[in-house]
Amino acid sequence: MAEGGRNKDRLDWGDSITLRDHDTGTLPQIELGQPGVGETRVSASRIPLHQLPSLAVGTRLGDYEIAKKIGEGAMSEVYLAIHPTIGRRVAIKLISARLFADPDAKERFISEARAVAAIHHPGIVHVFGFGTYTDGRAYLIMEWLSGESLGARLRRGPILIDDALDIVLQIANALRAAHEHGIIHRDLKSENIYLQEIRDEKPVVKILDFGIAKRVDDREDSRAGRLVGTPLYMSPEQCQGKSVDQRTDIYAFGCICYELLTGRLPFVATDVTELVAAHITETPPAPNVLRPDLPGELSTLIRSMLAKEPSKRPSLDAVRRLVQSMLHSSQVMAAVGADPDLQQLPLPAPAKSFPPRRLDDLDEQMTLREGRRPSKQEEELAPTLDGTPFGEASTLDSNYLTPEDIKRRRGVGRTLVLGAIVFLLVAAICIIFAINQ
């Protein structure tokens, strides 16, 4: 299929589809354009949308050939494809057949490609191609990643605090790049954070799926009150259908941090309505109540990211400063022989919850463990949130010692020991002198 020029004989994203055709769930009578090299001409006359086939091995899309199907969701199908000459591997994301005639889904697909191309950051999955298959379905060509999602990694067990902080810092760096380009993700979740495996190195974090991202200056959806996002990670303003800005991503990021460091999400509920209400009105237990080895300042940071009022959430720069400081402190403590890891403590079992799917993709009710309000003891233990920028004037928990605290306490200890020795020597001399008299 030749890319670029528009063919009036082929159904493309700009072509109109009549309501009658849309309602009957079939493609309009069309004659597809001349297929390109390696592509098969498809007759699309009255093919039911749900019967559009998956791509067969060997199918040609642009310069790449399909090697295998690797996944399928409500919005799209994902394939591994290989360049037949140079052997380069790519991932191809093909829009779902059921959304083929949905103009909103079509626009999301195009917006995703534009958003990612605008950011161009190593922490954002790279999209370097866009095209339309012979049956009219759009596809993206993306870099091939080897590894697993953060959600999959968490299902295998807890992550050490230092490793978790490294992941948090990488997410913050990538998200800051998106925000600097005026792009709000709106669907951050652990399944959209990918840990790319690199031999003998720590995983490289990649943020995926900008399918419902929006620019700060874009007009809001004209359908008032429409909820978009994944309920488990949606900010209070998203849950209320209000206008959102970059701070809605900070809230979702806070949910990811909570999940990453405690093994469970901030809120659980029996249905979507309860979950949305919890985001708007409930306060989750402090992370260090669920995982006592967490430093108090880190627990406070996460809770402030989950503040109901967007203005009380910290900036990404504040998050980065605190996490960088804690990583440095941990390295110093390890260097002086202190034990930085009470990190081997087991985490609470993760709560059973909704699969991490967007609200507009949910088509069935999933069961969650019953949510609850924090106890009085938990509320007393939880640090207060006053919106103070972290890394500047925030208060450290009394049980968390920085390297400076440790050095100071050791100095005081040495002084007391030396003082006691001097006192004993003086006392001994006085006693000897008195006896000789």
State residue 317's pLDDT score: 95
Asked if residue 412 is part of any domain, the answer here is no
- Highest mean predicted confidence (pLDDT) among 98-107, 313-322, 404-413: 313-322
Which range, of 151-165, 205-219, 266-280, averages the lowest pLDDT? 205-219
Whether 379 is covered by a domain: the verdict is yes
For the CA atoms of 406, 411, 413, 414, what is the dihedral angle to 10 degrees?
140
- Answer left, alpha or beta for residue 243, where phi above 0 means left and psi between -120 and 50 means alpha: beta
Within-domain flag for 434 = no
For the stretch 353-393, pLDDT in tens is 554 455 544 433 333 333 444 444 444 444 433 333 333 33
Note whether 83 and 179 are same-domain residues: no
Q: Do 240 and 343 belong together in one domain?
A: yes
Q: Is the pLDDT of residue 134 over 90?
A: no
Same domain? For 309 and 235 the reply is yes
Query: Same domain for 190 and 88?
Result: no
Dist. CA 301–CA 260, nearest whole Å: 14
Last residue within a domain, chosen from 123, 143, 163: 143
The arithmetic mean of pLDDT across residues 9-18, rounded, is: 30
435 is a domain residue? no
431 in a structural domain:
no
**pLDDT per position as a tens digit, 255-265:** 999 999 999 99
For residue 393, give Cα distances in angstroms to 322, 386, 387, 398, 399: 11, 11, 10, 15, 18
Does 268 lie in the same domain as 361?
A: yes
**Residue 280 belongs to a domain:** yes
**432 in a structural domain:** no
For residue 427, the model assigns a pLDDT of 87
Same domain membership, residue 322 and residue 195:
yes
Domain boundary pick from 115, 143, 171:
143
Q: Which residues pair with 214 in a beta bridge?
A: 184
Report the percent of the chain where pLDDT is more than 70.
68
Q: What is the mean pLDDT of residues 128-154?
A: 90
pLDDT tens per residue across span 384-394: 333 333 333 33
Residue 190 has pLDDT above 60, yes or no: yes
Q: Tell me whether residue 273 is in a domain.
A: yes
Q: Is the pLDDT of residue 177 over 60?
A: yes
pLDDT surpasses 60 at 33? no
The pLDDT mean for the chain works out to 75
Contact status, residue 254 vs residue 312, Cβ threshold 8 Å: no
Please report the pLDDT score of residue 332 as a whole number. Answer: 56
Total domains in the chain come to: 2
Tell me the one-letter amino acid at 254: G
- Rounded to a whole number, what is the largest CA-CA distance in the chain? 123
Note whether 84 and 115 are same-domain residues: yes
Range of the domain at 105: 19-143
Q: What is the CA radius of gyration of the chain?
A: 28
Q: What is residue 358's predicted lDDT score, i.e. its pLDDT?
A: 57
Catalytic residues: 187
Residue 90: its pLDDT value, please? 95
d(CA 386, CA 394): 9
Q: Are 284 and 374 in contact (CB under 8 A)?
A: yes
Task: Say if residue 64 is in the same domain as residue 105.
Answer: yes
**Residue 324: per-residue pLDDT:** 93
Question: Is 0.75 surpassed by the pTM of this model?
Answer: no
Helix crossing, 247-262 with 316-335: angle to 10°?
Answer: 30
Angle at 415 between CA 409 and CA 418, to 5 degrees: 140
Q: Which of 119, 143, 167 is the last residue of a domain?
A: 143
Mean pLDDT of 18-34: 32
Q: Which of 315, 338, 293, 309 is nearest to 390 (CA)?
A: 315
